[in-house]
A and B are shown apart, each in its own frame.
Chain A
Amino acid sequence: MSGLIEQGRYTCAIGAMQSVVAIPRAVPILHSGPGCGSMVTGFFERATGYAGGSTAPCTNSGETEVVFGGEARLARVIEGAGRVIDADLEVVLTGCTAGIVGDDVGQVVGRFQAQGRPIVHVDTAGFRSSNYVSHSTVVNAILDQYVAPRTTGPRVVRPELVNVFASVPFQDPFWKGNLRELKRLLSGLGLTVNVLFGPDSGGVAEWRTVPQARFNVLVSPWYGLPIVEHLQEVYGQPFLQFPYLPIGGNETTAFLRQVATFAELPPGPVEAFIAREEATFYEELQSLATFLLEFRYGLPAYYHAIHDASYVVGLARFLLHECGIVPREQFVVDGTPAELQDGVRAALAATSPKRTIPVTFDPDAGLAQETLRPIRHPGRGLLIGSGWDKLLAREKDLDFLSAALPSPYRLVMTTGYLGYQGGLRLIEDVYNGVLATYA
């Protein structure tokens, strides 16, 4: 995954600045060239949070720092940040300049850590990795440098407590809504849930309870895996990986049963909860079925998605079985590492024994568009992708749903697509888009 990329759908390692922004009352401090912050906020848009956006401190490394090193400048900016910004957690993220020059950031930040400052440092030089990857680096740095030193004495295990890791905040435009639904669902099983990011988390106080959880749940095909592996190593917490986004009735029920089995929860209350949720979900679907089956003016018969692996698999399973929209060529553009692609392929192949769903893996989404451009299928089609894809959809006369970054044509606040509730919302969005083309 080191080739050229046209139409970037994610960003470089320092984009994990947004993972910090997603933690209530945390502030990212950039030790980077002057422009990284504006690149990140320009990519994500409308994602300022508590102290991201123009609030984020930065050393603005220039010629002087590149030639002579930027450690002194970094120390001054950290000093100032502590006085100017009221934060519970500070995360220093280094960019390419400091990364290539080789500043000893750990030594500088260590001096502040020794004074008890809740401050963490992490190497996010842009050339090292993508923000999908560095999200885990940031989380592990917080766990090691902030949480671990504040966890003293023998480890207390709270049997009902679980840490959940799912979307990469802001990279998944629906991360807030998805985490909210995950928390609601797992709470419905009787668990207490740490979601760690967003308005439904308890901020740094919640982070400090991470070691107390009995186990971890990862909802992701590959990103985030280093977090739960790290927690397993450090705290002996086992983890359950559900390798795609569970959307709608079937998949959410499957997800909940897996968690319940993994956590050895009593089946009675679990099944009762699932039954209630399914009843609500399928009542809506049955009211809608007449529309789906009879609407005579045209609904999408098939779709393509250009998205990350979690969405590509999750959408396929949901749209085929619960809406009757057939997945055609799919494009995974998240930079899934080669050795993990087979897992994604298998999950997609298991969508239905009746069909093979072609899928390609390449973050070069411009190439994906080139591949897709001449492909034709009978019937009305839908394209699910990012703002980059809107024009292609128009060109090919496909319906279009904006559901990935960058997202210049769609605002997302707390909408989620995960779970029973997310599935219903996705149905609304798909068919409202279709209905909006009439009149």
Chain B
Amino acid sequence: MGKLNLNTPSAQVREARLGSITGYQGTAGDLVGCARRGELREGERSFSQYLGCSTANAACTVILIQDAAVVSHGPLGCSACFHEFAFTYRVNGHHRGVAQPTQRRIFSTNLTERDTIFGGNEKLALTLREAHRRSGARALFIVTTCASAIVGDDVEGVAAEAEAELGIPVVPIFCEGFRSRIWTSGFDAGYHAIARRLIQPAAEKDPTLVNVVNFWGQDIFTPLFARLGLRPNYLTPYATVQELQESSRAVATVQVCATLGSYLGAALEQRFGVPEIRAAAPYGIAQTERWWRELGALTGKAAEVERLIEEERARWLPRIEALRAQLTGRTAYVTAGASHGHALIAVLRELGLRVEGAAVFHHDPVHDNGAVEGDALQAVVQDYGDVPRYNVCNKQEFELANILNRVRPDILLARHGGMTLWGAKFGIPSLLVGDEHLGMGHQGLVNYGERILDAIENDEFVKNLARHAINPYTKWWMEQDPFHFLTARADVRAH
């Protein structure tokens, strides 16, 4: 890592930029040690199941912008799952003061065989024009796909021409799926484009404004920040194009999940002078307090932060203690994306549960700001001790099924669609909390503790499902070492 290059059309993928990996087995402590010594090695699976797609993650950064429209430049299927973001936008709007969420405007250039031969530039130009006419959007975003990239369409050129013609920002995002096996590279691509083409240098700073790079969770930051005389500027879902353009006015940027916001935080700092908090996101008491103190130092609110921490402790520690008494000794397993996986481990350990292992989708040795203190896994290991059976595994269900069958924890915590099914098939209470804000701060531990107790207590459904579960995996596979197909790559790259 180092300085981001915001002058090129596309962002480097994570493998190349950060040295991130998708295959590892060992302990969390050893993984962190490898990362610090520059010895992280990618593992390769000779058998694999499908991953996520960068184009979907890129779309995720722009579809929920209030007044933007999105054009997928590819075959129709490359935008097939985007309707899920339209649903999210509608159902979560009330959390963000968007009382009347409008229809998301999602277009596909619908590339066909002919376009793969003659090129899709003209079709893209027509689609941009029509998307502008229909939607009246304040900005158009283009997400690229495997087909448009391999064919070699001039997306950058077409976007520039459309921008001149239409008089609104037309922002290309280069996020074709085959470039990266780490689908969160799509977040980076989206933020790269936003930072490169949309955000404007600030004429003046707003000393109360703090950027919060996030998905679409509940607005927990407005009341908390108000106690410091600050207010959150949520990026990018539910923001307007103008709010994004003016995000350079903020005095700091914080992350709810550095896996999501790493690139935007670093870009805002490097190009627009908005400092980014180095501390990993506030999950678990120790990390929460570190995070608040750094925010206080950065915004000149150190005294207010000490008061807030004291108040939060007084309010929540007794209930956290009570939850610990009920949860201590219980066992858990975690499967989630990188930073949020680390966050879940912190929450579980703070509540007294024993984390028996984790299958986390990838590992970034550091994020784009290069700060070692931003390594949430390192913080977890230092605060709570090592985690055994720490597996970097990009959503390979066959490995998860095999591991859960052996580990049989009291609860499975998951943070990705489809992953709870295998907990339930083994009768393991399984919890997926969609709102990543739920576990943050002191209160987050109470929120999570209650949800975990609830899931463990109300296990009749999973027990019944387990009795009738269908298992497509062979007996042979369930008896193998879960990492049977995982080998270190021959072309080892040390970082």
Which of B51, B54, B77, B398 contacts A84 (CB under 8 A)?
B398
Pick the residue among A4, A43, A60, A96 that contacts B109 (CB under 8 A). Answer: A4
Q: Cα distance A125–B146 when bound, in Å?
A: 11
- In the complex where A59-B48, A76-B47, A97-B150 touch, is A6 in contact with B419 (Cβ < 8 A)? no
Total number of A residues with any Cβ neighbor in B under 8 Å: 75
Number of A-B contacts (CB under 8 A): 235
State in angstroms the CA–CA spacing of A264 and B337 once bound together: 61
With CB as the reference atom, state the residue of chain B lying closest to A38: B52
Known contacts A12-B76, A84-B398, A127-B75, A96 near B108 by CB under 8 Å: no
Q: Can you list, as one digit per residue, whether each of B80-103 has a CB less than 8 Å from chain A (1) or not (0)?
A: 110110110010000000000001
Q: Pick the contact of B397 from A55, A60, A363 — CB < 8 Å? A: A55
CB interface residues, B 181-230, toward A, < 8 Å: 181, 183
- Which of chain A's residues have a CB closer than 8 A to the CB of B130? 4
B76 near A2 with CB under 8 A, answer no
CB atoms of A54 and B395 under 8 A apart: yes
Which residues of chain A are within 8 angstroms of B86 by Cβ–Cβ distance? 388, 408
Binds A, one of B166-174, B255-263, B466-474: B466-474
Which stretch, B112-120, B264-272, B428-436, touches the partner chain A?
B112-120
Task: From known contacts A6-B107, A62-B181, A97-B150, infer whether A54 and B397 are also in contact, taking CB-CB under 8 Å.
Answer: yes
Residue of A nearest to B477 (CB): A84
Q: Does A254 contact B (CB under 8 A)?
A: no
Do A55 and B49 have beta carbons less than 8 Å apart? yes
- List, in ascending order, chain A residues with CB within 8 A of B78's CB: 12, 35, 39, 126
Identify A57's interface contact among B49, B108, B151, CB under 8 A: B49
In the assembled complex, the Cα of A15 lies from the Cα of B53 at a distance in Å of 15
The answer to whether B245 has its CB under 8 Å from any CB of chain A is: no
B125-184 contacts to A, CB under 8 A, are 126-127, 130-131, 134, 145-147, 150-151, 176-181, 183
- Per-residue contact bits, chain B 406-448, to A (CB 8 Å; 1 contact, 0 not): 0000000000001101000000000000000000000000000
Question: Could you tell me the distance between the alpha carbons of A3 and B151 in the complex, rounded to whole angstroms?
Answer: 18
> Is the pair A8, B181 in contact by a Cβ cutoff of 8 Å?
no
Contact status of A58 and B75, CB under 8 A, knowing A4-B130, A6-B134, A34-B178: no
CA of A366 to CA of B110 in the docked complex: distance in angstroms? 13
Contact A35 B47 (CB under 8 A): no
Which chain A residues border B389 with CB–CB below 8 Å? Answer: none
Instruction: Given A36-B53, A60-B50, answer yes or no on A11-B395 (Cβ-Cβ < 8 Å).
Output: no
- By a CB distance below 8 angstroms, the chain A residues around B51 are 34-35, 37-38, 58, 60
**Which residue of the partner chain A has the closest CB to B475?**
A86
Give CA–CA (A384, B210) in the complex, Å. 45
In the complex the two chains form, is B146's CB within 8 Å of A77's CB? no
User: By CB atoms of chain B within 10 A, which of A8, A30, A367, A409 has the most?
Assistant: A8
Residues of A within 8 A of B8 (CB): none
Which of chain A's residues have a CB closer than 8 A to the CB of B397? 54-55
- 6 cross-chain pairs, A with B, having the tightest CB-CB distances, nearest first: A35-B53, A42-B81, A80-B47, A12-B77, A37-B50, A126-B75
Listed by A's residue number, 6 A-B pairs whose Cβ atoms lie within 8 Å are A3-B110, A34-B51, A58-B48, A86-B474, A366-B134, A388-B86
Besides A4-B107, A57-B48, A77-B48, 9 other A-B contacts (C-beta < 8 A): A5-B110, A6-B134, A35-B51, A38-B51, A50-B470, A54-B50, A80-B47, A130-B76, A408-B84
